[in-house]
Amino acid sequence: MAKAKDSSAPILALNDVSKVFGGYRALHDVSLNVYPGQVLCLLGDNGAGKSTLIKVLSGFHQPTSGTLEWEGEEANFKSPKDANDRGIATVHQFGGTFPLMTIGRSFFVGVEPTKGWGPFKRFNKKYANETAVREMQALGITRVTDGDRLIGSLSGGERQASAIARAVHFGAKVLILDEPTAALGVKEATHVLRIIMQAKLKGIAVILVTHNVTHALTVGDHFAVLIRGEKADDFKKGERTREQITDLMAGGEAMAELEEELNTLTGTINRVN
Amino acid sequence: MAGQTKSRFDFGTLLRRPEFGALIGTIVVFVFFSVAGGEPFTDLGGWAAWLNVASELGIIALPVALIMIAGDLDLSVGSTIAAGGVTMAVVSGFFDVPTPIGVVAGLAFGALIGFINGIIIVRTNLPSFVVTLATQFAVFGLVLGLCKLITGTVAVNVKADEGVKAIFGTLLFGNFETAIVIWAVLALLVAWILIKTKYGNWIYAIGGDMVSAKATGIPVNKVRVWLFVGSGTASALVGVIQASLYDSAQVSGGASFVFNSIIAVVVGGVLLTGGYGSVVGVILGTMTFAIVSQGIFFTGWDSDWASLILGGLLLVAVLTNNTFRRLAFSSGKKKG
Amino acid sequence: MKKSLTVKFAAAFAVAALSLTGINATAANAAGGNKIYVLGGGDAFFAVVKNGFESAALSVKAGGDTPIWLGLQNYDNIGPDMVKLIQTAVAQGADAIALPIWDAAAEGPEIKKAVAKGIKVIAYNAGEPVMKKYGASAYIGTNEYTAGVKAGEYLASMGKKNAICVNDQPASANIKQRCDGLAKGEKNKGGKSTQLSLPATAFGNATAIANAVKGAITKDKTINAVFTISSADCDASVVGVKAAGSKAAIGSFDLSENILNRVKNGEQLVAVDQQGWLQGFLATSTAWQYAAYGILPATTTILTGPALITKANAATVIAGVKTGQR
């Protein structure tokens, strides 16, 4: 535990990890260090291998070659559950993955709180709803007050928040966020970015997968750029300019467009804060 | 909706209950046939006529609903009904083994069919639609072949002994099948599982997103296999009930239950795509179906039009239901 | 037991496997001699027909020829499925085919083609009015309409002058004739009969049938006879009549052990038999005799029914049902 809190040692590390599907090499000798209390941004265009990398980190895939280290020791994530049990939580693009379940129920899927005894042991709905709402409010989602609401009735940002709140509540040490802002409007996206900062401040190692350089630069401490399955660059905050990163990712395309979006966004953040 | 607290009765919340649409549908068809059928439909005998049909359908619709909420389908219930009834009739009617043993054999056969369905589905990852469709045919052929081989006929007579008849095949007050009581008990059990146990949460999660459900550590495959064992046993139970009630079992029996059970469950508001549904809704859907399919015979109308009226009213029921469910999905209570 | 248990089970699994194709072939297609194909259905009635076929098959085999049974698994798609069975028989080199003509429009052209190829065709069970038109050489079976008329007249003569005819296959022309005949018979003697058509959602569901019957006779309390078109529906209707507290008389087409016991005990008034076993036996042997030796019966129509079974003769029929001859 003490080790995990020490931000100088990586909680999770990849050493020369490759993943081959059939004849296709999705990942090629990728090495990464993930530190507690830091946000690692994984950048890359579509098809660069980001999803494969997440699936290796969250136990869906085992690496073809190379090793994983968890809290300083070599580890092998046998299944998503195995990774989950160690404290790795993954949140997908659309956040809460059970849109037709209530907030309270989906919050506790797989770890249902019960009350009562023996055959009368039953799902503790009151506790589940209260906890879920409390944890979401703690992340600044004050609009949600009823744990019986369906996840599907929440906004995209609220759904992300509910999933992050869940991970935080169950003591996730590593939080993998797969394109959390991709489907969101600008305002919602800034809200999610703020929640990411809150998670980071709690000492959680956050892996933020995105192809939005602006969002990455706003919250990231550490950056890795993937191109065609290889790590093309790896740098700390302030070591590269925005232009350098976008150039690397997309070869300078859509630069003007990005710049414009970027200006709008920084404007919004300033106003919100 | 501003200013209302959770504990107070809230009509908006009631409107958004997933069962509300189903309730409206049931009331509409009941009123319709009360008017068209008059007293014979509304008196005790009339209630029994559709409750009897509802109870047998409901015994199957409940476990089928669980399967559908978990994102699967079971199309093998038809031949499983025949398998349960014919097994009981062959064991106790043809070989004269005491009826309780015949009942257990019938139920065990049903459970086995469900188990095989489940195992094939989770091992091969084939869609349950295809697998259970295949078992529907395979079981029919197996029952037909074995039954003719053993008894030389496809309709086997059986006289259930008094104990079995009292539980499965008696008309209470000369009208109401004991199946109604069995249905009620089963409904309570299924509601308890779905709402009050962690297994209920697992079933919703599996139907919502199987991959994510697996990732949270839910034993997804085990749950799915058990659900199929449930529907297999329940289907065989209906076969046993009908054999006890009518003193005979036919290889061809039960075929109409395949679609009837799906109709009842869908009218009851369960999503065909899984992840959503409730026991109360399924009960109401079953009742709606039974009222519509039996009510016609109390109207005195030319029964040649029965199928048309049935189809039309079911469509109306599903449409009503959908309208109200959309309300449920629209954002719930908002902070004022 | 001529066959060993292993063979029996192997056969059962073969049947199960074949059921997926909707077609059920029983006998092996051995080389040599004449091939006599008998096409039929797969319900309780045809189980008895097939028993008759099997008894005749012994003689066919003894004569050095090959009897083959092709059966439908269900009646959902009766016309096209029968066409397929006929095509199968023709393709496999049939010398004679005995078959029910259920769907004349679909089966007729195929029968004509078979006859043109020199195949001897015998109609049985259904198709009496059209059999000559398509070149079939003889008809063996009942006349559904006549059977209905006879039953209707009997009901009326017993004072049961307001009947319903429960029909769970209202779209089948063959079955409709039974109800039409019943209505005619009642009318002849001053009574009436209406058809109670059940929707497809009730097919094979005894409870739905029982409660539909109950609904109809509760609505119209003057109904004093309930007639059903099959034996399974009859078991269900008895429960419906009882639950309605009605004293309506029960009658049915076709036989089963339950029906005969009820007739014997006075709980059922009458059953109309068309002697399925005899149809299977006569159809098979007529087709065989014609193909192998060129002999036809003197009359082109041999009626195996209708025979009314009442309390007077029920006991003697029961023995035959138990062993699959009635």
Q: Long-range CB contacts (< 8 A, 24+ apart) of B100-104?
A: B100/B161, B100/B163, B100/B164, B102/B158, B103/B164, B103/B168, B103/B240
Which residue's structure tokens are 């919602």? A188
Alpha carbon A37 to chain centroid, angstroms: 13
Residue B1: the pLDDT is 36
In the three-class reduction of DSSP (H, G, I as helix; E, B as strand; rest coil), residue C19 is classed as: helix
A101 to B275: CB separation less than 8 angstroms, yes or no: yes
d(Cα B277, Cα B19) in Å, to the nearest integer? 8
Residue C7: the pLDDT is 47
pLDDT-derived band at A263 (thresholds 50, 70, 90) equals confident
B201 to A123: CB separation less than 8 angstroms, yes or no: yes
A101 to B204: CB separation less than 8 angstroms, yes or no: yes
From the list B102, B238, B77, the residue with the least C-alpha distance to B158 is B102
Q: Which tokens go with B319?
A: 């449409």
State the nearest Cα–Cα gap between B328 and chain A, in angstroms: 9
Express each pLDDT in C31-68 by its tens digit: 448 999 999 987 778 888 999 999 999 999 998 899 99
pLDDT-derived band at A7 (thresholds 50, 70, 90) equals low
Chain B residue with the nearest C-alpha to that of C176 = B304
Q: Which fold has domain C5-142+275-295?
A: Rossmann fold (3.40.50)
Span C176-181, average pLDDT? 91
Q: Does B334 touch chain A (CB under 8 A)?
A: yes
Residue A45 confidence (pLDDT) above 50: yes
| Domain range list for chain C | 5-142+275-295, 144-273
Q: Which tokens go with C125?
A: 């069970």
State the nearest Cα–Cα gap between C239 and chain B, in angstroms: 7
From the list B231, B15, B28, B233, the residue with the least C-alpha distance to B128 is B231
Least confident of A14-28, A148-162, A237-251: A237-251
> Of the spans A135-149, A215-229, C10-24, C265-279, which averages the highest pLDDT?
C265-279
Query: Contact, C187 vs C206, CB < 8 A?
Result: no
State the nearest Cα–Cα gap between C300 and chain B, in angstroms: 30
**Which residues of chain C neighbour B299 with C-beta distances below 8 Å?**
219
pLDDT-derived band at B75 (thresholds 50, 70, 90) equals very high
State the nearest Cα–Cα gap between C75 and chain B, in angstroms: 11
Chain B residue with the nearest C-alpha to that of C220 = B300
pLDDT-derived band at A254 (thresholds 50, 70, 90) equals low
A110 to B213: CB separation less than 8 angstroms, yes or no: yes
d(Cα B60, Cα B235) in Å, to the nearest integer? 6
Chain C interface mutation, best of B144, B175, B288, highest count of C Cβ atoms under 10 Å = B144
Provide the chain B residues 80-119 that lie in CB contact (below 8 A) with chain C.
none
In the three-class reduction of DSSP (H, G, I as helix; E, B as strand; rest coil), residue C197 is classed as: strand
d(Cα A104, Cα A144) in Å, to the nearest integer? 11
State the nearest Cα–Cα gap between B334 and chain A, in angstroms: 7
Query: Contact, A251 vs A243, CB < 8 A?
Result: no
Could you write out the three-class secondary structure of C116-169? HCCCEEEEECCCCCCCCCCCCCEEEECCHHHHHHHHHHHHHHCCCCEEEEEECC
By CB neighbour count within 10 A (0-12 exposed, 13-18 middle, 19+ buried), where does A78 fall? exposed
CA atoms within 13 A on the CB side of C287: 38
Q: Which residues pair with A233 in a beta bridge?
A: A225
pLDDT-derived band at B13 (thresholds 50, 70, 90) equals low
Residue A236 confidence (pLDDT) above 80: yes
pLDDT-derived band at C22 (thresholds 50, 70, 90) equals very low
In the three-class reduction of DSSP (H, G, I as helix; E, B as strand; rest coil), residue C260 is classed as: helix
**Which residues of chain B neighbour A145 with C-beta distances below 8 Å?**
333, 335
Identify the sign of the CA torsion C2, C6, C10, C12.
positive
From the list B76, B19, B13, B11, the residue with the least C-alpha distance to B286 is B19
Count of CB pairs separated by less than 8 Å, B with C: 185
d(Cα A60, Cα C220) in Å, to the nearest integer? 67
Express each pLDDT in A155-200 by its tens digit: 888 888 888 888 888 888 999 988 888 878 888 888 889 889 988 8
Radius of gyration, alpha carbons of chain A: 19
Nearest-10 Cα torsion for C251, C252, C258, C263: 40
Pairing verdict, β C301-303 and B176-177: unpaired
Count of CB pairs separated by less than 8 Å, A with B: 90
A105 to B332: CB separation less than 8 angstroms, yes or no: no
Residue B5: the pLDDT is 41
Does domain B21-29+37-325 correspond to CATH entry 1.10.3470? yes
The yes-or-no reply on B/A contact (3 CB pairs or more, < 8 Å) is yes
B201 to A81: CB separation less than 8 angstroms, yes or no: no
Q: So what's the architecture of C144-273 in CATH? A: 3-Layer(aba) Sandwich (3.40)
**Under 8 Å CB-to-CB from B260, ≥6 apart: which residues?**
B57, B289, C201, C205
State the nearest Cα–Cα gap between B189 and chain A, in angstroms: 12
Provide the chain B residues 47-76 that lie in CB contact (below 8 A) with chain A.
none
Residue A233: the pLDDT is 83
Express each pLDDT in B91-104 by its tens digit: 999 999 999 999 99
Chain A residue with the nearest C-alpha to that of B219 = A110
State the nearest Cα–Cα gap between B100 and chain C, in angstroms: 21
Chains in contact with chain C (at least 3 beta-carbon pairs closer than 8 A): B
Pairing verdict, β A65-70 and A73-75: antiparallel
Q: Does C12 touch chain B (CB under 8 A)?
A: yes
**Under 8 Å CB-to-CB from B121, ≥6 apart: which residues?**
B72, B128, B131, B132, B224, B225, B228
Domains defined along chain A, listed by start: 2-272 (3.40.50.300)
Residue C24: the pLDDT is 40
Alpha carbon B9 to chain centroid, angstroms: 32
**Which residues of chain B neighbour C172 with C-beta distances below 8 Å?**
none
pLDDT-derived band at B329 (thresholds 50, 70, 90) equals low
Residue B106: the pLDDT is 97
Alpha helix ranges (H) inside chain A: 2-5, 50-57, 80-86, 103-107, 125-138, 156-169, 186-201, 213-219, 242-250, 255-272
Residue C208 confidence (pLDDT) above 80: yes
Could you write out the three-class secondary structure of chain B? CCCCCCCCCCHHHHHHCCCHHHHHHHHHHHHHHHHHHCHHHHCHHHHHHHHHHHHHHHHHHHHHHHHHHCCCCCCCHHHHHHHHHHHHHHHHHHCCCCHHHHHHHHHHHHHHHHHHHHHHHHHHCCCHHHHHHHHHHHHHHHHHHHHHHHHCCCEEECCCCHHHHHHHCCEECCCEECHHHHHHHHHHHHHHHHHHCHHHHHHHHHHHCHHHHHHCCCCHHHHHHHHHHHHHHHHHHHHHHHHHHHCEEECCCCCCHHHHHHHHHHHCCCCCCCCCCCHHHHHHHHHHHHHHHHHHHHHCCCHHHHHHHHHHHHHHHHHHHHHHHHHHHCCCCCCC
Chain B interface mutation, best of C19, C195, C220, C226, highest count of B Cβ atoms under 10 Å = C19
**Which residues of chain A neighbour B222 with C-beta distances below 8 Å?**
none
Express each pLDDT in C140-166 by its tens digit: 998 889 999 999 999 999 999 999 999
Span B295-307, average pLDDT? 82
User: DSSP secondary-structure letter at A120?
Assistant: G
Q: Does B271 touch chain C (CB under 8 A)?
A: no
A58 to B331: CB separation less than 8 angstroms, yes or no: no
Q: Which of B200, B213, B331 comes nearest A123 by C-beta?
A: B200
Express each pLDDT in C279-297 by its tens digit: 999 999 999 999 998 889 8
From the list B298, B16, B56, the residue with the least C-alpha distance to B183 is B56
Q: Which tokens go with C258?
A: 């339950």
A81 to B214: CB separation less than 8 angstroms, yes or no: yes
Chain A residue with the nearest C-alpha to that of B16 = A149
By CB neighbour count within 10 A (0-12 exposed, 13-18 middle, 19+ buried), where does A206 fall? buried
B198 to A112: CB separation less than 8 angstroms, yes or no: yes
Question: How many beta carbons lie within 10 A of that of residue A262, not counting itself?
Answer: 18
Residue C299 confidence (pLDDT) above 50: yes
d(Cα C60, Cα C14) in Å, to the nearest integer? 24
Provide the chain B residues 131-160 that lie in CB contact (below 8 A) with chain C.
134, 137-138, 140-142, 144-146, 148-149, 152-155, 157
Residue A241: the pLDDT is 81
H or E element: which one contains C280?
Answer: helix C276-293
In the three-class reduction of DSSP (H, G, I as helix; E, B as strand; rest coil), residue A147 is classed as: coil
C197 to B304: CB separation less than 8 angstroms, yes or no: yes
Q: Could you check whether C5-142+275-295 and C144-273 share the same CATH topology?
A: yes
Chains in contact with chain B (at least 3 beta-carbon pairs closer than 8 A): A, C
Express each pLDDT in B232-250 by its tens digit: 999 999 999 999 999 889 8
d(Cα B186, Cα B56) in Å, to the nearest integer? 11
Span B137-161, average pLDDT? 88
Chain B residue with the nearest C-alpha to that of A55 = B215
Span C291-307, average pLDDT? 89
Report the percentage of chain C scoring pLDDT > 70.
90
Express each pLDDT in C216-253 by its tens digit: 998 899 999 999 998 888 999 999 999 888 999 999 99
Residue A256 confidence (pLDDT) above 80: no
H or E element: which one contains C174?
Answer: helix C173-188
**Which residues of chain C neighbour B300 with C-beta distances below 8 Å?**
219-220
Q: Does C170 touch chain B (CB under 8 A)?
A: yes
